[in-house]
Structure 1
Amino acid sequence: MAITDPLALQVLAIAKEAGDKIMEIYDRDFAIYEKQDTSPLTEADLAAHKCIVAGLEAISPLPILSEESADISWDKRKTWDKYWLVDPLDGTKEFIKKNGEFTVNIALIDGGKPIMGVVYAPALKKSYVGVVGQGAWTETAEGVNPISAKPHQPGELWKVVGSRSHQSPEIQNLLAQLEGETELVAMGSSLKLCLVAEGEAHLYPRLGPTSEWDTGAAHAVALAAGADVTVLDAADPLNSDAEALTYNQKESVLNPYFLVSA
């Protein structure tokens, strides 16, 4: 099943081009940077940012909020109804460790909600595309495949996306509320949300700081795949009436804690 949305295809092409810029730097020997002012991470981030901004400006008149141009005032931002939300390189630790789990993220936000998103992992050569109301897909060398979130079934092992390092007491509290055994699924960057979107995990509780550009694109993929992304109350993490995570509704670009669930 092919991706047919013309705008999504254009954005996917932009994300891949930005990914190529990142890989040119990622494939170098990082030791050569020791006596220079710039780090490979900074150089890759800026190269991807410039590539994405140029690409989006060529196909759309909408404003752009990127991690690399985040100093736009709230007075200006609050007038935006529809805009592009970009994280040119998410997963800085993954980039530095060279484990491949970093991503290029481009989301289209409308009325505070992500309606389209592209997440591209250039080192893994894997893309996630979500168009809310149309569907979600992965694209690899093997081709394009539709994806969907898979709800937990009674008696099934709970697969929960989490950090490779220690788990906080809040996460332990959430896991304790699940009926049955749990398995931790570790992944870097915005790929955590994508694991729930493609049915590889049931839950991703985020009880740590993130910014809106960290989540926008993968949030769109998750929604398009049938998952929910809701504000998480650490005291009542499995509240079924939790409100949806939204964007550009306040001066701060920090997200509240949230839960991605199938």
Structure 2
Amino acid sequence: MTDQDLLALAARLAQTAADAILTVRDAGFAVERKDDQSPVTAADRLAEGIILEGLRAATPDIPVVAEEECSEGVVTAVGRRFWSVDPLDGTREFAAGRDHYTVNIGLVVDGRAYLGAVALPAFAEVFTGIVGLGAWKRDAAGERPIGARREPEEGLTVFASRHYAGDERLDRLLAGRRVAAKHEIGSAVKFVRLAEGLGDIYPRFGRTMEWDTVAPEAVLRGAGGRVTQMDGETPLQYGKPGWENPPFLCRGRA
């Protein structure tokens, strides 16, 4: 498969999983707790099953690391290429009846995010991107290229995590900088809003896992944005033991 074929596969499966999530939402669901006390629902499991079946059938040579399998103790050996899947990023948002949750399907190549698809079920949007080649958004109006923006003169539009609202570290990071607006929302939606030029910075201080970030990082970097550790230079690396990310910083175009 070409890179474009892999991206189309990820986008198709993300859309199918998004449709399944909306079906579960409309039918009603219970919220359970995993061993780490994070929430999980039937929508997480159904979406992951759809994605895993599709990826393993179409690309049997590429390993898949998926959140719910990992939480159940499945250990996947990875090579220079592997899929990283979060079937429902933002389960807290989904369970609370809010709209900021996503389906993330990303491909890692040589330890870096390379391509990905991010579906926003509640908004009927799918974002895709390949690092170095571009990023796109598909919605009711069709598909079109998107691009991150440079910081506007009126100041930064900041996206921050709802779960860490009021974090003093955000105030310290923004000290002395002009801020035009701040939005506190959940999940990888923050990445793609930067990718389409609706914001300028998203710092993440709290815990995340690799499957939370591979796909949206590929979209944002494909759109000309930047994702680094908090020093502003060191890239995120993937395939680490335990799959946990360090704190990171997403920004628009340099």
- Asked if TM exceeds 0.5, the reply is yes
- The answer for the alignment partner of 1:221 in structure 2 is 219
| Contact 1:119-1:128 within 8 A present in 2 as well | yes
Structure 2 unmatched runs, 5+: none
Deviation at 1:181, TM superposition (A): 3.1
Task: Deviation per CA, 1:122-170: give whole Å up to 9, x if none.
Answer: 12110100012221011001111211110113x3221010134632111
Which protein shows a greater Rg?
1
- Aligned residues, how many? 242
Deviation at 1:72, TM superposition (A): 4.4
- The answer for the alignment partner of 2:139 in structure 1 is 140
| Contact 1:185-1:201 within 8 A present in 2 as well | no
Identical aligned residues as a percent: 36
Task: Give secondary structure in 1 for the equivalent of 2:250.
Answer: strand
- Please say if 1:244 is aligned against 2:243: no
| Contact 1:90-1:102 within 8 A present in 2 as well | yes
Amino acid at match of 2:172: N
- The answer for the alignment partner of 2:244 in structure 1 is 254
Residues in 1 aligned to 2:180 and 2:229: alpha-carbon distance in whole angstroms: 22
Structure 1 unmatched runs, 5+: 233-238
Amino acid at match of 2:250: V
- The answer for the alignment partner of 2:149 in structure 1 is 150
Residues in 2 aligned to 1:58 and 1:101: alpha-carbon distance in whole angstroms: 30
Deviation at 1:6, TM superposition (A): 2.5
Superposed counterparts of 1:228-239, under 5 Å: 228-232=226-230, 239=231
Task: Give secondary structure in 2 for the equivalent of 1:5.
Answer: helix
Superposed counterparts of 1:52-63, under 5 Å: 52-61=51-60, 62-63=62-63
| Contact 1:103-1:189 within 8 A present in 2 as well | yes
| Contact 1:118-1:221 within 8 A present in 2 as well | yes
Residues in 2 aligned to 1:217 and 1:21: alpha-carbon distance in whole angstroms: 19
Residues in 2 aligned to 1:202 and 1:121: alpha-carbon distance in whole angstroms: 20
Task: Give secondary structure in 1 for the equivalent of 2:123.
Answer: coil
Deviation at 1:41, TM superposition (A): 4.5
- The answer for the alignment partner of 1:65 in structure 2 is 65
- Seen in structure 2, the aligned counterparts of structure 1 residues 37 and 214 have a Cα distance that, compared at 3 Å, is closer
- The answer for the alignment partner of 1:163 in structure 2 is 161
Amino acid at match of 1:159: T
Residues in 2 aligned to 1:137 and 1:188: alpha-carbon distance in whole angstroms: 21
Residues in 1 aligned to 2:92 and 2:25: alpha-carbon distance in whole angstroms: 13
Task: Deviation per CA, 1:36-90: give whole Å up to 9, x if none.
Answer: 999x9521111111100000012102100000111344xx63x521000000011
Amino acid at match of 2:108: I
| Contact 1:41-1:95 within 8 A present in 2 as well | no
Give the 4+ runs in structure 1 shifted more than 4 A. Answer: none
Range with greater deviation from structure 2 (5-14 or 215-224): 5-14
Give me the TM-score of the superposition, normalised by structure 1.
0.86
| Contact 2:154-2:180 within 8 A present in 1 as well | no
Residues in 2 aligned to 1:176 and 1:210: alpha-carbon distance in whole angstroms: 24
- Seen in structure 2, the aligned counterparts of structure 1 residues 253 and 28 have a Cα distance that, compared at 3 Å, is same
Residues in 2 aligned to 1:193 and 1:166: alpha-carbon distance in whole angstroms: 17
Give me the TM-score of the superposition, normalised by structure 2.
0.88
Task: Give secondary structure in 2 for the equivalent of 1:52.
Answer: helix
Residues in 1 aligned to 2:225 and 2:237: alpha-carbon distance in whole angstroms: 15
Superposed counterparts of 1:97-246, under 5 Å: 97-153=96-152, 155-164=153-162, 166-178=165-177, 180-232=178-230, 239-240=231-232, 242-246=233-237
